[in-house]
Amino acid sequence: MSETMLPKTWEDLINKRAFLPVIVKTLEKIHDPSWSMELNRHDHFEMVYIKRGNAVFQIAGQDVNMGPNDIVIIKPHQPHKFSVKSPSGCEFIVLSFKFRNEYDKEYSDVSLNDFIEFVKNKESGAFINLRLSRKNDIVYVMNRILREKEKQDIWGDFLSYLLIMELFVLISRALKMEWEENIKGKSLKLKELMQIAKEYMDNNYEKELTLTDVAKYVFLSQSYFAHAFKEEFNVSPKSYLLKVRVEKSKELLERSDLKISDVALSVGFSSQQRYNDIFKKYVGITPLKYRKIAKAKRVNMVVD
* Rounded-to-integer distance, Cα 16 and Cα 197, Å: 28
Rounded-to-integer distance, Cα 279 and Cα 258, Å: 16
Q: Which residues of the chain have pLDDT under 50?
A: 1-17, 108-114, 118-120, 122-123, 303-304
Distance CA 302, CA 68 (A): 78
This prediction's pTM: 0.53
Closest by alpha carbon to 193, among 227, 219, 175, 222?
A: 219
Rounded to whole angstroms, how far apart are CA atoms 304 and 299?
9
**DSSP structural state of residue 109:** S
Q: Taking each helix axis as running N to C, give the angle between helix 156-184 and helix 187-204, from 0 to 180 degrees, rounded to the nearest 10.
A: 120
Q: What per-residue confidence (pLDDT) applies to 152?
A: 63
